[in-house]
Amino acid sequence: MSKATLLAKFTDPDECLHACEHLVKKGIKVREVYSPFPVHGIDGVLSVPKTRISTAAFFYGATGTTLALLMMWYMNVQDWPMDIGGKPSFSLLTNLPAFVPVGFEITVLIAAHGMIATFFFATRLFPGMPAKNPEPRSTNDLFVVEIVGDDNPGTSLNDLKSDLMNHGAIECSDDVLRYEDQ
Amino acid sequence: MNFSLPGKTRNILMAAAAVGLLSLVGTFIMDVQYGWANLLLNAFWFTAISLAASFFVAVHYVGEGGWHVGFKRVPEAMGQYLPIGSAILLLVVLGGYFHIHHLWHWLDPEVQANDVIYNTSGKKVWLQNEFWLIRTLVYLGGWIFFANKLRALSLKEDLEGGMSSHKTAYKWSAGFLVFFAVTSSTSSWDWLMSLDFHWFSTLYGWYIFAGFFVSALTTMLLLVLWLKKNGYMPHLNQSHIHDLAKMMFAFSIFWTYLWFSQYMLIWYSNIPEEINYFLERFSTGYQPWMVLMLAINFAFPLIVLMHRDAKRNYNLAFVAGIVVLLGHFIDMYQIIMPGAMAKYVPVSILSVLAMIGFMAIFLLATFRALGKAALVPKHHPFLNESKQHHI
């Protein structure tokens, strides 16, 4: 069953933000905002829950540090003890400064890739997936506010149009909701 | 709105300055060399903080940054301490030049005649007494000139408005940055690295710069928070504080990166004339201070200031700032003392009190300059941008 949707299009991020503030103040529920780049403050206006990606990043980073130290300990201390620069103590701890650069790099590597993978998984963005934005220009120069009729019972989407046009929208078009998953 | 220092705060600062100066005298009574070394530490550190504040202003002119305009008068006022700090630093340098003390023992003609490294390494070209004194005068004179120029243009803008002062300041800032890039490095060789003149490190200038830039950013953050608490900066929002704390955090990590890069290469290659610098610091009584300093300057900001909310919490940011400043005081201590004293002298209470005294003098000079002009620049072209600052 298709759901009636209103797409309000803005060319300016601040006008888009202020229009959203106005809608939220009126008690209208905004389903999604599509923008070419992050609009500062929009997550607060739309009450988007705080991201947990930073917590995930910490654990990926800790995994990276552990793996790196384990790898270097096995290679340079356990399997084939290395004596470099007059430091034949064969100990991970006393030779720690030498292991810091590699440990740091692998921490960053695992944390970055882990975050990307988590982000793709959480947003169902994989290579080859169809685009979910209802208006292709939202990847270029348009800021698109999506309002779904079913989210706002008792409100006529048509009545909202003129209100949004007064708040800086350049165009309001009717659409149907294509993706439900978020 | 203009700033006026509350009488109570002024009295506390005056008292702290008096106690600090007495403590400095105390360090001279303990050991004359230790007294001079403490004087050098405070003279350099606070002059450098003042210089770095002017550098901050210049960077924002050249980078056309606007977010800082709301508290721009604070780094400007910090820069007004430069003449006082320079005079004290010049006193220490002249003391060395006239052989009243030998913090820089290469100044001694006997050392210059007999020292093998001095005569064979090429250091002789750079480390000449007269040349060294002239360089000192050029650095200090140049810095004071540029800092005052930027300050004067900013005050002129208050009166006249328009864009002409801003554009002129932009040009002078670009010149200042070039001058600063060279002199911040060479001055650190002249005043600090040459304390251990057998040793050298190509990274040294950057390491010293990172240290005093963190100190300056932290001082700026503390001053802004203090002013805000006293009702002076209502136009500054959480975003400004967040950004300042972010810079304190970022430059703490940057400082660690430089400290470690310098340390690791020297530790790894283990060449006698290089490793000696770290043997003096890690195989003597200085070791616990080194470990403490690294913990405060790296681990503490990393753990405490990593989180977004921590940087937006005014009280936490204030306490963290004080801890970071103490960490960089210990850093300055271990930079100067092993070379200047040639033996282990623990961080003494007199030394800390002397530092607090100098900080009080620094703050008195800063507040004095702060009260002389409007607290917010009136016609800065980016003023509105700063008021709208939102991250």
* Pair B139, B183: CB distance under 8 Å: yes
Least confident segment among A78-92, B231-245, B335-349 = A78-92
- Give the Cα separation of B163 and B137 in Å (integer): 33
Task: Confirm if B370 and B74 have CB atoms less than 8 A apart.
Answer: yes
pLDDT, mean of residues B51-80: 96
Asked whether residue B387 is assigned to any structural domain, the reply reads no
Res B1 pLDDT > 80: no
Interface test with A, best of B267, B274, B283, B389 (most A CBs within 10 A): B267
- Tell the residue number behind the tokens 């790196």, with chain if given: A68
Task: Give the pLDDT mean for A9-17.
Answer: 93
**Contact flag B264-A87 (C-beta cutoff 8 Å):** no
In a domain, B2, yes or no: no
Residue A85 contacts B, CB cutoff 8 Å = yes
**Is residue B382 domain-resident?**
no
> Global pTM?
0.90
Q: Which pLDDT score is estimated for A129?
A: 85
Task: Look at residues B284, B210, B282 and name the one whose alpha carbon lies nearest to residue B247.
Answer: B210
Chain A residues in contact with B385 by the CB 8 A cut-off are none
- pLDDT-based confidence at residue B276 (cuts at 50, 70, 90): very high
B267, B268, B391 ranked by CB distance to A40: nearest: B391
CB-based contact B264 A100, cutoff 8 Å? yes
Tell me if B338 sits within 8 A of B278, measured CB to CB: no
Task: Summarize the confidence of residues A51-57 as an average pLDDT.
Answer: 91
- Give the N- to C-terminal CA distance of chain A in Å, as an integer: 17
Residue A104, token pair as written in the block? 């740091």
Find the mean pLDDT for residues B1-28. 93
**Would B390 be classed as within a structural domain?**
no
Q: Flag whether B85 is in a domain.
A: yes
Percent of chain B with pLDDT over 70: 100
The pLDDT value given to residue A86: 64
Partners of A86 on chain B (C-beta within 8 Å) are 270
Report the largest interatomic distance among the alpha carbons of chain A, rounded to a whole angstrom.
80
Strands A143-148 and A32-34: antiparallel
Could you tell me which residues come within 8 angstroms of residue A151 by beta carbon, excluding any fewer than 6 positions away?
A: A29, A31
Give the span between the Cα atoms of B223 and B242, in whole angstroms. Answer: 14
**Best B257, B258, B268 residue to mutate vs chain A (most A CBs within 10 Å):** B268
The whole-number pLDDT of residue A95 equals 84
Measured between alpha carbons, how far is B71 from B368 in angstroms, rounded to an integer? 16
The whole domain housing B367 covers 7-373
User: Are A85 and B268 within 8 A, CB to CB?
Assistant: yes
Region of poorest pLDDT, from A86-95, A128-137, B252-261: A86-95
Any idea where the domains of chain A sit in the sequence? 4-50+130-176, 53-122
Residue B26: name the closest of B13, B16, B39, B14 by CA: B39
Look at A97 and B269 and tell me if their CB atoms are within 8 Å: no
pLDDT at residue B288 greater than cutoff 50: yes
Q: For residue B267, list chain A residues with Cβ-Cβ distance below 8 A.
A: 97
pLDDT of amino acid A50: 86
Residue A182 has pLDDT above 50, yes or no: no
* Contacts (Cβ under 8 Å, ≥6 apart) of A26: none
Q: Is residue B254 part of a domain?
A: yes
- A8 — phi, psi (to 5°)? -105, 130
- Output the six-digit token pair for A26: 């009126």
Distance CA B267, CA B324 (A): 26
Q: Percent of chain A scored above 70 by pLDDT?
A: 95
Confidence label for A175 from pLDDT (cuts 50, 70 and 90): confident
A97/B270 CB distance under 8 A? no
**Chain B touched by A98 (CB under 8 Å):** yes
Total domains, chain B? 1
Report the pLDDT value the prediction gives residue A88, as an integer from 0 to 100: 65
For residue range A87-103, what is the model confidence (pLDDT) as tens digits?
667 788 888 888 999 99
Residue A180 has pLDDT above 90, yes or no: no
Closest approach of B295 to chain A, Cα-based (Å) = 15
Residue A88 in contact with partner chain B when CB distance is under 8 A = no
Three-state DSSP class for residue A148: strand
